[in-house]
């Protein structure tokens, strides 16, 4: 089983799960501050962990300890070899249980080529279905989901405010049964919550991010919390209906600063530190019809510092300008989540950078 794990795992995804805030990747080499708990690194100084992403081997130079991905998992979770193998295999869907392997296959989302019969679900019906699914999941243990986000510096209050919900694998059949009792199967298939095999599709992707519009959850995306699982994301059928966290704008005063960021993690990071933020699904995901709710605020773009982010900001500034609006640009050396995890004084630095970005936008205007 250990060799099967090594031939199936995505090493980049596996290691960056634990080294997300500190990781620097060049070619097939990852450099990071060592996250292994019992190594008790202070978090300061030069990166001491090096990972060969082609072979999956790691080495901590500060403690002169290394090995493969299974050994790394043992050290991170303080478990033995057998337990590490079993847990990684379960996350990758390589469980020795034929029953579980079969269930993973039956729960896979339908291919894009699948044709569905009938009209798309009306927003009211879709919202009822999303809320029922979230409610069923929230009755289950949420600890793993909270811990996953806590490792990224996101607090529980921000999870609750945005409705982030965890769906434990052990609750899969129970939640699936509740949804089948509450809604017609054909409607569940139309939503994308269920596939053509009549199984709930959110089996491997269990950290749920709902999109609320006028206090109703109209859409869900989910992320896997497992190491090395690809694809990392799964979503319902249809299109993203709005900016992520757009409903929070109703509670703000006119001319408040609102940040436009990339993704759920960056949005939740800013909420954790007391900043107002809405999120895009991908740098280029902004739609013109989403500008209206932003019109009464001072909007600052803080997208990822890559070519996609730069192109998106330039396009959005034109989009905002065509509506008589202004979009300031805040330039960071990393994405928002990494910036806050790497800088002890990040909130203060972020405010100062924001003031400069707004001043520059006024001068350009």
Tokens of 274: 């007391």
Identify whether the C-beta of residue 60 lies closer than 8 Å to the C-beta of residue 48: yes
- Do 263 and 215 share a structural domain? no
Residue 255 within any structural domain of the chain? yes
Count of CB atoms situated within 10 Å of the CB of 245: 25
Residue 70 within any structural domain of the chain? yes
Query: Which one has a higher pLDDT value, 277 or 98?
Result: 277
Residue 83 within any structural domain of the chain? yes
With a threshold of 0.95, does the pTM exceed it? Answer: no
Residue 117: predicted pLDDT: 56
- pLDDT(246) > 90: yes
Give the CATH number for residue 57.
Answer: 3.90.580.10
- pLDDT(297) > 70: yes
- What whole-number distance in Å separates Cα of residue 211 and Cα of residue 4? 37
Residue 103 within any structural domain of the chain? no
- pLDDT(132) > 60: yes
Identify whether the C-beta of residue 175 lies closer than 8 Å to the C-beta of residue 137: yes
- Average pLDDT estimate for 348-361: 96
- pLDDT(101) > 70: no
- Do 158 and 91 share a structural domain? no
Average pLDDT, the chain: 89
Residue 222 within any structural domain of the chain? yes
* 3-state SS class at 48: coil
Residue 147: predicted pLDDT: 84
- Do 300 and 194 share a structural domain? no
- Do 265 and 339 share a structural domain? yes
- Do 261 and 217 share a structural domain? no
Residue 43: predicted pLDDT: 47
- Average pLDDT estimate for 26-35: 86
Condensed to tens digits (0 to 9), the pLDDT of residues 167-204 reads 988 899 999 999 999 999 999 999 999 999 999 999 98
Q: At 88, which helix (H) or strand (E)? A: helix 81-91
- Do 256 and 210 share a structural domain? no
* 3-state SS class at 100: helix
- Do 268 and 225 share a structural domain? no
Identify whether the C-beta of residue 296 lies closer than 8 Å to the C-beta of residue 324: no
- What whole-number distance in Å separates Cα of residue 226 and Cα of residue 73? 12
Give the CATH number for residue 259.
Answer: 3.40.1360.10
- Do 222 and 171 share a structural domain? yes
> Which among 188, 208, 235 is the end of a domain?
235
Condensed to tens digits (0 to 9), the pLDDT of residues 31-62 reads 988 888 888 664 455 678 999 998 999 999 88
- pLDDT(115) > 80: no
Residue 113 within any structural domain of the chain? no
Residue 241 within any structural domain of the chain? no
- Do 67 and 33 share a structural domain? yes
- Do 250 and 216 share a structural domain? no
Residue 225: predicted pLDDT: 82
Instruction: Please give the DSSP secondary-structure letter assigned to residue 164.
Output: -
Identify whether the C-beta of residue 222 lies closer than 8 Å to the C-beta of residue 228: no
Residue 89 within any structural domain of the chain? yes
Residue 25: predicted pLDDT: 84
Q: Burial level of 336, CB count in 10 A (0-12/13-18/19+)?
A: buried
Total structural domains within the chain: 3
Among 42-51, 143-152, 231-240, 342-351, whose mean pLDDT is lowest?
42-51
Give the CATH number for residue 231.
Answer: 3.90.980.10
- Do 313 and 258 share a structural domain? yes
Among 67-81, 254-268, 274-288, whose mean pLDDT is lowest?
67-81
- Average pLDDT estimate for 140-151: 88
Q: How confident is the model at residue 21 (pLDDT cuts 50, 70, 90)?
A: low
Sheet strands (E) in 133-248: 165-166, 207-213, 216-223, 233-235
Identify whether the C-beta of residue 38 lies closer than 8 Å to the C-beta of residue 354: no
- Do 225 and 274 share a structural domain? no
- pLDDT(355) > 90: yes
> Which among 96, 113, 139 is the end of a domain?
96
Residue 362: predicted pLDDT: 87
- Average pLDDT estimate for 305-314: 93
Range of the domain at 12: 2-96
User: Quick one: how many helices (H) and strands (E) in the chain?
Assistant: 14, 13
- What whole-number distance in Å separates Cα of residue 198 and Cα of residue 181? 13
> Which among 215, 235, 255 is the end of a domain?
235
Q: How many CA atoms lie within 13 A of 118 on its CB side?
A: 10
Length of the chain: 365
Q: How confident is the model at residue 99 (pLDDT cuts 50, 70, 90)?
A: low
Q: CA torsion angle for 259, 260, 261, 265 (degrees, to 10)?
A: 60
């Amino acid at each position: 089983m250990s060799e099967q794990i090594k031939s199936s795992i995505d090493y980049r995804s596996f290691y960056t799960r634990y080294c997300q805030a500190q990781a620097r990747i060049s070619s097939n080499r990852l450099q990071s501050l060592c996250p292994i708990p019992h190594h008790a690194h202070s978090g300061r100084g030069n990166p001491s962990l090096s990972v060969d992403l082609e072979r999956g081997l790691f080495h901590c130079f500060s403690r002169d300890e290394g090995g493969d991905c299974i050994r790394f998992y043992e050290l991170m979770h303080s478990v033995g070899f057998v337990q590490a193998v079993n847990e990684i295999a379960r996350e990758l869907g390589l469980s020795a249980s034929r029953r579980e392997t079969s269930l993973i296959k039956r729960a896979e989302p339908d291919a894009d080529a699948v044709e569905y019969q009938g009209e798309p679900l009306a927003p009211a019906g879709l919202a009822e279905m999303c809320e029922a699914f979230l409610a069923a999941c929230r009755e289950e243990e949420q600890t793993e989901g909270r811990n996953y986000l806590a490792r990224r510096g996101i607090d529980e209050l921000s999870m609750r405010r945005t409705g982030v919900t965890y769906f434990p694998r052990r609750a899969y059949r129970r939640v699936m049964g509740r949804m089948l009792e509450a809604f017609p199967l054909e409607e569940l298939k139309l939503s994308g919550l269920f596939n053509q095999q009549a199984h709930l599709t959110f089996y491997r992707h269990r950290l749920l991010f709902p999109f609320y519009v006028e206090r109703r959850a109209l859409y869900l995306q989910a992320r896997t919390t497992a190491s090395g699982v690809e694809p990392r994301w799964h979503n319902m059928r249809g299109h993203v209906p709005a900016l992520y966290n757009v409903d929070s704008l109703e509670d703000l005063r006119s001319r408040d600063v609102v940040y436009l960021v990339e993704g759920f993690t960056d949005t939740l990071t800013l909420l954790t530190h007391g900043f107002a933020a809405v999120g895009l699904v991908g740098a280029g995901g902004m739609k013109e019809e989403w500008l209206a709710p932003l019109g009464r605020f001072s909007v600052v773009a803080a997208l990822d510092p890559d070519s996609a982010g730069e192109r998106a900001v330039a396009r959005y500034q034109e989009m905002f300008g065509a509506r008589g609006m202004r979009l300031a640009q805040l330039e960071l050396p990393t994405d928002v989540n990494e910036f806050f995890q790497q800088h002890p004084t990040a909130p203060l630095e972020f405010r100062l950078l924001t003031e400069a970005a707004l001043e520059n936008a006024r001068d350009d205007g």
